[in-house]
Structure 1
């Protein structure tokens, strides 16, 4: 029996997907409850893919029986932490409208417009919802969303998640697994007071009883490993008022220990370059991309991320019609593989845009599902028209008029395919369907041996259980394969045996505010440290950028001086920096044709920044440290990066006028970005430096 996966850790009230792995769509799978806490009314799902929502803290065990045996899925549920909070908006903050057109969307309801409507009280829209402690972004939208929507953030008070990190060593006759547990902001616990729970993976032939647990350590006797042939995975969470994202180590029969969740080593030092494929060259073909690889080499980037390269009716490619062949206008699969090979010859890895939350409305399987063909009927998420936010007028519109995707079946009536926001032409596929899961796993397999990683579009729309299966599947094929999630806003849950790198929307929005003089430059330091406050484990990496294919160009929005400082921030702060094609050439249109005859000075500036990051370990791997400094403008900021015996000081200025920054450190006056000596004054312990955009100095 293909095991349904590792133990899952949730709070009461959160849903867990139960699904067989590597499924046969024609097979029968049945679930039953083996164990649940006293007082729980939770029952097993009646379908092959189901959802369990623990109602009482404790341990739940579900057995899945399939054509090749049985396997157990364990769920550890902790007390619920959700608190009632209220979103509010004054009615006059929206343009003239019908109150019935207003709804509230956000991650809490998967951005489904029209599902949750606020009440209007004395001119104020009010919406009550239960959410865990933290910052929650949400929008009050008109219809399915428009430029007039109002987005804001509400903070639910309470402690942040604790964090945990596991490591192991052989000591005498056992492997000792140690947990470094750290409390979250606002917790009443100390680090030592946090509980740590260790669980042995149910897939690996041993049970929890084999562990000798003492506080934050667990001993796994070497003799216990004599009965297994493969590594035994041990999971653990730190528990205070809340539980942490789980960490995991794999203990081999010889006693060696590997960390399961660590990202591929190469991405820690990489600089990513995103290419919008139909705008990078005039020809817009793989062959033309291959001829531009020397340009990528000249920039010093280590990884190129291509927007979708599969068949699609759109120029952006995110509406997929054929998952198993390249787009005909871009070129053949052979041409694509030739481009990848050419990149590899230059030491550049290639990341493929994996779009599996939805398909194009023009995909053959959507047509078959809309027509009620049995094997495809539930390929998409279909909802009764009466339960949707749509009107009869919407149904009168055809596909060409941007009408909603719908169907009529005699036994089910009129139904509408689910879609996020106002994305009517990309209906959501149904991961409760074994056929969909089988198909999308085949897609994952199809390209995994061709490219070096996946950037996963709308990752938040695909179930955690499926991503965990993808992670395990790819880890088994190539431990160096990269998984990058587009989850907006980001969520620590996707760091638990799912993704290596996460979109850093927090720093992005902060850089835009700083560039528009709506926030002081020092706020980028708080944004850079946000992952710790949000409960991300220390192994997680964050992709940092100033623009991408979904955002306006920073140069157009904030101007050239701010753009230089923002680009420097991305390349000098911790994380994985990403450049969007044309950013370095002075592009102002977010999907414009690459301005090859563009700004050479800007390109040289970006090359110098990338080279400095590559040559100075403190800029790629160094810890972010506070630095006592004083600046003559809020548009300037300074910080330090430490790595082993190297410390560098980074000074940034987002303003149009040179800034004077004084900081408490003696430095070598050679700027590590330009290689030139900078104008600075020092008395041996304090340094004053003039900064146009960026200066990076090594401490004496």
Structure 2
């Protein structure tokens, strides 16, 4: 069915992309706006892909006319909460030895999706200044005087204001009615929300059959269709990420109505196994060593090492055909890279990891292709069939030094001229990328989705329903930097925790005290992430400088300890545990740090053995630092109700002596070594001890 999917929720001024599902490039499809608020003048193009920019709060209704019928799409627009923020830098803020200044500077940030040439800062005396209307939160702007971005300056501003509320739905049959209950929670700095409920245009449940009593819609059992999707949004100063229930009715037999059953599922929830897992990222072409070419076979021969770490998931950076070492410039989405091996050899590696009880996550790159991909070459050479395959921008907006053929230029992010953006306003592209998803979904256990923020939300919602239909355990991990809770709305299971990542680095430099990690965790709720959303905690990845190189071994161990003892899914970037200092450096097999490797093994095992470390919730623990820098020490409790553990982290050099009233045993569960006495522990990097049983 080509129905465009669930209701969409946005703020005034935010463009909402609408598209048919299961697209056939040759099909006739057009949109029309059939309802809008009285004060609105918003329009919606009549092509196959629509873009609605609500200009007034309220409900908009659009119709998609396609060969299999006419489908309704509801768009609910809420008031925007923004404030004009001012970014400014001076010449002294720019890095690099040689700097050629100009009267204006290119500026990129989340407010323009890191797209160059759309926003410029004008010179004002000794400053370059730009203003932007931004929602509450901390925002960054990157300035450069040319398209190479070799020399940049960054400014940060914080917009005060309320966070986003949250809502969670449950449902049950009560006295013959199906009743939905909404647990709506205010943002930490917001007022109590109300709840709005919406039905799904794909189902035959009539609005007239639903009676809403406060926060509880009720539907007579006999009015429920075979499938009904119920969506809810909490609304205060801002609106929440929507939550969804799927209600399915069936019969256990062909007898009386009493045999009818009602089942309820939560399609946005991550698979249960993800919160217990440890992820191991492998940058594939640096894994085999200094003198051996990395191939699928070479990785397969090293699976016993991966097994020894105790990890549950391997995330492989791209394995498809690409002219680059990192693999993110794809030239063939449907085949593996020749230097890595054949498709059969890749599947052999996956099978070997599966035999070891390890899931495999595939790096899905569908925001862009390499400019060496035949489709892009045909597109730029004017072949009509490929005219709409890639984004097009005016040459006047392009700030690169590339002499693009034609009167326009491709769209791209940052200074990534070699990886032009695909055009999701094309049914051909949507069909193409859905075919890519289908090609690999049955081979692996999940996708890490590269540049997820560059692909439309509606497309990700379709991908989720598609891959989860046959395998609810399939994992979807988004690369959204900085993090954005909107991608938790029936899209992704697991999210990069960019806030904890940045905070651990600020702690490493001494710019923030160790206790700042609590603020990073609190930001998750402030941003409106649902309680059930998963978060990947990490200190390294292939896009960032190594923590060890930047902040040293002592801080690294404490930071890694945090990722394994805080709620979330920890990730180890291959080489992190061996003492590799280069961002994408070769794995140190013969000269690596075995003590550091064992430290990671111990953390993986400790977390696996103690459910308290995998449970939600963190409670700061009062403590006194007897010797050492108090700002470099933090302590907290973790409990699952049956066991309570105290974690003490020390980010400084040497050993800190810390006294706590909450422990009665002084044996470190991580190392098995004694760590002090009489409620005092000596902490080099991390200590985990049982809490006092009677509090």
User: Unpaired segments of 5 or more residues in structure 1?
Assistant: 395-402, 409-413, 682-686
Find the counterpart in structure 1 of residue 51 from structure 2. 51
Q: 1: CA distance between counterparts of 2:75 and 2:588?
A: 53
Cα distance, 1:477 vs. partner? Answer: 2.2
Instruction: Write the mapping of 1:206-245 to structure 2, written as runs, cut at 5 A.
Output: 206-225=205-224, 228-229=225-226, 231-245=227-241
Find the counterpart in structure 2 of residue 699 from structure 1. 691
Cα distance, 1:101 vs. partner? Answer: 5.3
Cα distance, 1:83 vs. partner? Answer: 2.4
Is contact 2:116–2:398 with CA below 8 Å preserved after alignment? no
Is contact 1:201–1:207 with CA below 8 Å preserved after alignment? no
Cα distance, 1:509 vs. partner? Answer: 1.3
Q: 1:207 to 1:144 in 2, by over 3 A?
A: farther
Match of 2:552 among 549, 552, 559: 559
Match of 1:251 among 247, 250, 253: 247
Q: 1: CA distance between counterparts of 2:509 and 2:84?
A: 34
Q: 2: CA distance between counterparts of 1:611 and 1:202?
A: 47
Instruction: Write the mapping of 1:61-460 to structure 2, written as runs, cut at 5 A.
Output: 61-94=61-94, 96-100=99-103, 102-187=105-190, 189-190=191-192, 194-225=193-224, 228-229=225-226, 231-253=227-249, 254-281=261-288, 282-390=292-400, 394=401, 403=402, 406-408=404-406, 414-460=407-453
Q: Secondary structure at the match of 2:293?
A: coil
Question: Per-residue displacement from partner, 1:171-206 (whole Å, max 9, x unpaired)?
Answer: 22122211111111322x23xxx2100111111111
Is contact 2:88–2:155 with CA below 8 Å preserved after alignment? no
Find the counterpart in structure 2 of residue 674 from structure 1. 671
Q: 1: CA distance between counterparts of 2:654 and 2:206?
A: 65
Please report the RMSD computed on the Cα atoms of aligned residues, expressed in angstroms: 1.4
Find the counterpart in structure 2 of residue 467 from structure 1. 460
Q: 1: CA distance between counterparts of 2:155 and 2:611?
A: 38
Match of 2:514 among 521, 524, 532: 521
Q: 2: CA distance between counterparts of 1:328 and 1:470?
A: 28
Cα distance, 1:145 vs. partner? Answer: 5.0
Match of 1:623 among 617, 625, 628: 617
Q: 2: CA distance between counterparts of 1:87 and 1:205?
A: 50
Find the counterpart in structure 2 of residue 689 from structure 1. 681
Is contact 1:138–1:152 with CA below 8 Å preserved after alignment? yes
Q: Secondary structure at the match of 2:405?
A: strand
Is contact 2:390–2:423 with CA below 8 Å preserved after alignment? yes
Is contact 2:89–2:154 with CA below 8 Å preserved after alignment? no
Q: 2: CA distance between counterparts of 1:185 and 1:99?
A: 43
Is contact 1:101–1:143 with CA below 8 Å preserved after alignment? no
Is contact 1:114–1:143 with CA below 8 Å preserved after alignment? no
Is contact 1:113–1:143 with CA below 8 Å preserved after alignment? no
Cα distance, 1:30 vs. partner? Answer: 1.1
Is contact 1:12–1:78 with CA below 8 Å preserved after alignment? yes
Find the counterpart in structure 2 of residue 399 from structure 1. none
Q: 1:386 to 1:516 in 2, by over 3 A?
A: closer
Is contact 1:625–1:640 with CA below 8 Å preserved after alignment? yes
Question: Per-residue displacement from partner, 1:387-407 (whole Å, max 9, x unpaired)?
Answer: 4335xxx3xxxxxxxx36x22
Is contact 1:305–1:351 with CA below 8 Å preserved after alignment? yes
Find the counterpart in structure 1 of residue 531 from structure 2. 538
4+ residue runs over 4 A deviation? none
Cα distance, 1:97 vs. partner? Answer: 2.9
Find the counterpart in structure 1 of residue 502 from structure 2. 509
Cα distance, 1:147 vs. partner? Answer: 4.6
Q: 2: CA distance between counterparts of 1:505 and 1:203?
A: 36
Q: 1:548 to 1:240 in 2, by over 3 A?
A: same
TM-score (normalised: structure 2): 0.94
Question: Per-residue displacement from partner, 1:356-412 (whole Å, max 9, x unpaired)?
Answer: 11000000000110011111011111122134335xxx3xxxxxxxx36x222xxxx
Question: Per-residue displacement from partner, 1:293-338 (whole Å, max 9, x unpaired)?
Answer: 1111110000000000000000100000000011111111111111
Is contact 2:390–2:421 with CA below 8 Å preserved after alignment? yes
Cα distance, 1:91 vs. partner? Answer: 4.1
Cα distance, 1:50 vs. partner? Answer: 2.0
Instruction: Write the mapping of 1:582-661 to structure 2, written as runs, cut at 5 A.
Output: 582-597=575-590, 598-631=592-625, 632-633=628-629, 634-661=631-658
Find the counterpart in structure 1 of residue 258 from structure 2. none
Cα distance, 1:63 vs. partner? Answer: 0.7
Is contact 1:137–1:489 with CA below 8 Å preserved after alignment? no
Q: 1: CA distance between counterparts of 2:616 and 2:659?
A: 22
Cα distance, 1:55 vs. partner? Answer: 1.1
Q: 2: CA distance between counterparts of 1:478 and 1:498?
A: 15
Q: 2: CA distance between counterparts of 1:482 and 1:667?
A: 40
User: Could you tell which deviates more after superposition, 598-607 or 121-130?
Assistant: 121-130
Cα distance, 1:155 vs. partner? Answer: 1.2
Is contact 1:271–1:577 with CA below 8 Å preserved after alignment? yes
TM-score (normalised: structure 1): 0.94
Q: Secondary structure at the match of 1:103?
A: strand
Q: 1: CA distance between counterparts of 2:482 and 2:611?
A: 30
Q: 2: CA distance between counterparts of 1:169 and 1:698?
A: 39
Find the counterpart in structure 2 of residue 27 from structure 1. 27
Find the counterpart in structure 1 of residue 257 from structure 2. none
Cα distance, 1:671 vs. partner? Answer: 1.6
Q: 2: CA distance between counterparts of 1:295 and 1:524?
A: 32
Say how many residue pairs are matched.
671
Question: Per-residue displacement from partner, 1:33-90 (whole Å, max 9, x unpaired)?
Answer: 2221112112221221121011111111111111221211110111222222222223
Is contact 1:613–1:620 with CA below 8 Å preserved after alignment? yes
Cα distance, 1:135 vs. partner? Answer: 1.6
Is contact 2:32–2:44 with CA below 8 Å preserved after alignment? yes
Q: 2: CA distance between counterparts of 1:629 and 1:179?
A: 39
Q: 2: CA distance between counterparts of 1:152 and 1:186?
A: 25
Q: 2: CA distance between counterparts of 1:170 and 1:24?
A: 40
Q: 1:628 to 1:216 in 2, by over 3 A?
A: farther
Is contact 1:13–1:55 with CA below 8 Å preserved after alignment? yes
Cα distance, 1:512 vs. partner? Answer: 1.3
Find the counterpart in structure 2 of residue 684 from structure 1. none
Cα distance, 1:591 vs. partner? Answer: 1.3
Q: 1:419 to 1:575 in 2, by over 3 A?
A: same
Find the counterpart in structure 1 of residue 256 from structure 2. none
Q: 2: CA distance between counterparts of 1:265 and 1:438?
A: 31
Find the counterpart in structure 2 of residue 397 from structure 1. none
